[in-house]
Amino acid sequence: MKLGIIGYGNMGSAFARALRKSAHITVYDISEDKRERAKKDRFALASDPYFLIKECDYLLLAVKPKDIGNLLSHIRDQIEDRVLISIAAGVEIAYLKEVAGGHQKVVRMMPNINVEVSRGAIAVCYAEGVSEEEREKIRETFSVCGNLYEIPESLFDSFTALAGSGPAFVFAFIDALAMAGVKEGFPYETALRVVLDTIEGSALMVKESGKSPDVLIKRVASPGGTTIEGLAYLERKGFRGTVIKCVEKTSEKAKRLKS
């Protein structure tokens, strides 16, 4: 795949690094600083979007949702039969097609930042105009970034909250646990290493044991023991309800981006 990445910020650069194994990449960013960074990272650089479009058959649009309309209205006359892949939160396929001048080869993706370490969770939805061959090419190329979930577009805002924003919630939990370790007397670096082992190991336990988290909780929390003290405190403070509300609020914000 000859892939042009437009926007070399957080997500564009994360994709570029992961996809270097499976695609020929050319990058363009409006900002001089980001272009310098892409050059330092040894990616082929386009001096303008038109040159990039000429070079590539797939275009990954990695600009902020507020910038996507402006970008597409500038390049729509050059797109021809290129496949457009947008990762913009809250921006629907119907809108993308419209601002791209009725272009039919449009793909909507919702990745998360973990694509940078090839462990992303990525939602995908195709417009009808994307052929089976092009879909297969996308699956093959993007599978180096993590797992792809082909879901209906109606679930994209929920996926955005759960997986797109999800890493930030997990990073906040990791930091909170590490700070708890500091309160208990560990240096932060040691506490962080312990927390990361605990989280990685716990995720692997859920994946590999085939048991659901509530079954595994019972294996750790013995009757009248120490763990149930902590769990009871979390429940009293509304831990699960807070997490559920957090995802709900995030999903609502993704929906509001459209209006």
Ligand X SMILES: NC(=O)c1ccc[n+]([C@@H]2O[C@H](COP(=O)([O-])OP(=O)(O)OC[C@H]3O[C@@H](n4cnc5c(N)ncnc54)[C@H](OP(=O)(O)O)[C@@H]3O)[C@@H](O)[C@H]2O)c1
Tell me how far, at minimum, the Cβ of 67 lies from ligand X, in Å. Answer: 4
Tell me how far, at minimum, the Cβ of 95 lies from ligand X, in Å. Answer: 13
* Neighbouring residues of 131: CB distance < 8 A, sequence distance ≥ 6: none
Q: Which residue's CB is nearer to ligand X, number 110 or number 130? A: 110
Tell me how far, at minimum, the Cβ of 193 lies from ligand X, in Å. Answer: 24
Q: Which residue's CB is nearer to ligand X, number 158 or number 191? A: 158
Which residues of this protein are in contact with ligand X, per CB under 6 A? 6-12, 28-31, 34, 62-65, 67, 71, 87-89, 110-113, 164
For residue 196, give Cα distances in angstroms to 145, 174, 182: 21, 7, 14
Tell me how far, at minimum, the Cβ of 188 lies from ligand X, in Å. Answer: 24
Of the candidates 124, 136, 87, 79, the one whose C-alpha atom is nearest the C-alpha of residue 104 is: 79
Q: Is 6 exposed, middle or buried (0-12, 13-18, 19+ CB in 10 A)?
A: buried
β-pairing, 120-126 with 106-110?
antiparallel
Tell me how far, at minimum, the Cβ of 81 lies from ligand X, in Å. Answer: 21
DSSP element (H, E) containing 121:
strand 120-126
* Neighbouring residues of 90: CB distance < 8 A, sequence distance ≥ 6: 65, 157, 160, 254, 255, 256, 257, 258
> CA–CA separation, 59 vs 106, rounded Å?
10
Tell me how far, at minimum, the Cβ of 132 lies from ligand X, in Å. Answer: 26
Q: Which residue's CB is nearer to ligand X, number 83 or number 191? A: 83
Q: Which residue's CB is nearer to ligand X, number 6 or number 195? A: 6
Q: Which residue's CB is nearer to ligand X, number 53 or number 87? A: 87
CB-based closest residue to ligand X: 9
Q: Which residue's CB is nearer to ligand X, number 2 or number 34? A: 34
What one-character-per-residue DSSP string does 86-110 give? E--TT--HHHHHHHTTS---EEEEE
